[in-house]
């Protein structure tokens, strides 16, 4: 009963102060499940492309420096922009040690942001009231307002944030990474966007994950047949940990993946055996972009996984030397078991391969 009362009071407080928490899972405290922004006096969901960018934070290499177990980081979708093109800046505060107070409600006002070395927001820490959720465990807080800037002429520009935290915490002494931007009349390496007339509506092509899900869904469950590496990781393992293990145990025609960066993580539904919910991970690797499908099948079975080529969004990667038909798979079951490979045979099995 006390828990319910406290939860009700918390929700009332959040509503009365016009703030919310975007949320993360305990398993992935540095990956947001939502992203919010203010539109006038309303709090709304941020655009999907902003959330997709925020979900890459845990793999982002240029985070701000750690100070007493905390850091702040800013992120933009690109480093090159056209003149007049909006530059949207995400703000993240992360505690990497337990015992740090992280005020998760928001979106909180951004103080102490500098463009080209000049302060463009109030210096802070401000006097904004705060009565809401406070975490004392390692977690990343994405609940800050999204800054938007435009530049009227070509040239080089920098953005840095020197703030973070709630106003009630006072100055935290944190400084973010510095984002360096190039603004062009027509940016390098970016093709002009095609113009669309009123009589010719824009056609939005499905992204690689959507294309892959559509292809697999049309196979009536046969896509699940084949081999996959046995990943003895707990259900609480992070997506980064599972993906890293997949690539450690997987070979491809061009060799093994040595570097990778997660671009997006998404829950998808693909008809087949139940439950049919999978984690789809779009990954940029030194062997090209790939999509890794993941599902935890219980303590005994561990993690199921399969790797697909993201550029074609349909062809399963063919690792060098992998068996190419079911008869050879069955005749070499003992060899596969010794290599840590699990053989999956189902009625109506199609000859399909995955990375091993």
User: 64 pLDDT exceeds 70?
Assistant: yes
Res. 315 pLDDT band, cuts 50 70 90: low
Q: How far apart are CA 277 and CA 268, in angstroms?
A: 6
What token pair was written down for 66? 């750690």
Classified as helix, coil or strand, 18 is: coil
Q: How far apart are CA 295 and CA 278, in angstroms?
A: 5
Q: How far apart are CA 200 and CA 254, in angstroms?
A: 42
Q: What is the pLDDT of residues 134-188, one digit of tens each?
A: 889 999 999 999 999 999 988 999 999 998 888 889 999 999 999 999 988 764 4
Q: DSSP for 40-71?
A: TTEEEEPPHHHHHHHTTGGG-S-PPPPBTTEE
Res. 221 pLDDT band, cuts 50 70 90: confident
What token pair was written down for 135? 């975490």
Rounded to an integer, the average pLDDT of 250-265 is 86
Residue of higher predicted confidence among 352 and 221: 221
Domain with CATH 2.60.40.10 in the chain: 2-184
Q: What percent of the chain has pLDDT over 90?
A: 31
Q: How far apart are CA 266 and CA 280, in angstroms?
A: 5
Q: What is the pLDDT of residues 261-282, one digit of tens each?
A: 998 888 888 877 666 788 889 9
Asked whether the beta carbons of 91 and 71 are under 8 A apart, the reply is no
123-128, Cβ contacts within 8 angstroms, sequence gap of 24 or more: 124/163, 124/167, 124/171, 125/163, 125/165, 125/167, 125/169, 125/170, 125/171, 126/167, 127/167, 128/166, 128/167, 128/168
Burial 239-250 (b: 16+ CB within 10 A, else e): bbbbbbbbbebb
Smallest Cα–Cα separation from 89: which of 102, 68, 74? 74
Classify residue 328 by its DSSP letter.
H
Classify residue 168 by its DSSP letter.
G
User: 22 pLDDT exceeds 80?
Assistant: no
The whole-angstrom distance between residue 2's C-alpha and the CA centroid of its chain comes to 35
**2-184 CATH, one of 2.60.40.10, 1.10.3720.10, 3.20.20.70, 2.40.160.60:** 2.60.40.10
pLDDT value for 9:
39
Q: DSSP for 207-262?
A: PHHHHHHHHHHTTTTGGG-EEEE-B---TT--HHHHHHHHHHT--BTTB----EEE
Asked whether the beta carbons of 262 and 281 are under 8 A apart, the reply is yes
What token pair was written down for 80? 């090159």
Q: What is the pTM of this model?
A: 0.50
The whole-angstrom distance between residue 263's C-alpha and the CA centroid of its chain comes to 6
Choose the weakest-confidence range: 1-5, 116-120, 234-238, 256-260.
Answer: 1-5
Q: How far apart are CA 107 and CA 132, in angstroms?
A: 12
Q: What is the pLDDT of residues 90-148, one digit of tens each?
A: 999 999 999 999 988 889 999 999 999 999 999 988 888 887 888 899 999 999 999 99
User: 354 pLDDT exceeds 60?
Assistant: no
User: 10 pLDDT exceeds 60?
Assistant: no
Q: How far apart are CA 340 and CA 257, in angstroms?
A: 18
pLDDT value for 254:
82
Asked whether the beta carbons of 86 and 178 are under 8 A apart, the reply is no
pLDDT value for 311:
81
Which residues have CB under 8 Å from 85's CB, separation 6+?
150
Classified as helix, coil or strand, 338 is: helix
Q: How far apart are CA 293 and CA 296, in angstroms?
A: 11
The span from the first CA to the last CA of the chain, in angstroms, equals 51
Q: How far apart are CA 150 and CA 164, in angstroms?
A: 23
What token pair was written down for 154? 């070509």
| Helix (H) and strand (E) counts in the chain | 6, 19
């Amino acid at each position: 009963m006390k828990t319910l009362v406290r939860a009700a009071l918390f929700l009332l407080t959040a509503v009365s102060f016009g703030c919310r928490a975007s949320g993360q899972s305990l398993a992935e405290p540095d990956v947001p499940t939502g992203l919010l922004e203010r539109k006038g006096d309303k709090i709304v969901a941020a655009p999907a492309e902003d959330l997709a960018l925020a979900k890459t934070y845990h793999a982002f290499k240029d985070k701000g420096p750690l100070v007493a177990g905390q850091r702040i980081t800013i992120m933009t979708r690109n480093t090159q922009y056209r003149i007049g093109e909006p530059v949207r800046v995400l703000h993240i505060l992360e505690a990497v040690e337990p015992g740090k107070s992280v005020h998760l409600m928001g979106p909180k006002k951004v103080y102490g942001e500098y463009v080209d070395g000049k302060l463009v927001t109030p210096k802070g820490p401000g006097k904004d009231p705060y009565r809401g959720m406070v975490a004392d465990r390692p977690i990343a807080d994405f609940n800050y307002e999204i800054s938007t800037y435009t530049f009227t002429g070509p040239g080089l520009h920098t953005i840095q944030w020197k703030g973070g935290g709630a106003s009630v915490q006072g100055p935290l002494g944190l400084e973010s990474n510095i984002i360096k931007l190039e603004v062009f009349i027509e940016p390098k390496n970016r093709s002009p966007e095609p113009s669309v007339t009123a009589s010719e509506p824009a056609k939005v092509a499905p992204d690689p994950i959507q294309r892959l899900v559509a292809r697999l869904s049309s196979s009536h469950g046969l896509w699940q047949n084949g081999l996959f590496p046995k990943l003895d990781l707990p259900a609480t393992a992070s997506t980064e940990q599972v993906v890293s293990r997949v690539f450690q145990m997987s070979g491809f025609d061009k060799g093994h993946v040595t570097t990778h960066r997660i671009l997006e993580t998404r829950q998808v539904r693909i008809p087949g055996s139940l439950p049919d919910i999978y984690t789809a991970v779009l990954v940029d690797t030194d062997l090209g972009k790939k999509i890794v499908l993941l599902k935890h099948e219980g303590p005994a079975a561990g993690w199921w996984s399969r790797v697909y080529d993201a550029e074609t969004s349909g062809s399963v990667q063919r690792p060098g030397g992998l068996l190419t038909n079911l008869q050879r798979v069955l005749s070499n079951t003992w060899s596969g078991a010794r290599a840590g490979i699990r053989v999956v045979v189902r009625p109506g099995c199609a000859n399909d391969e995955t990375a091993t």
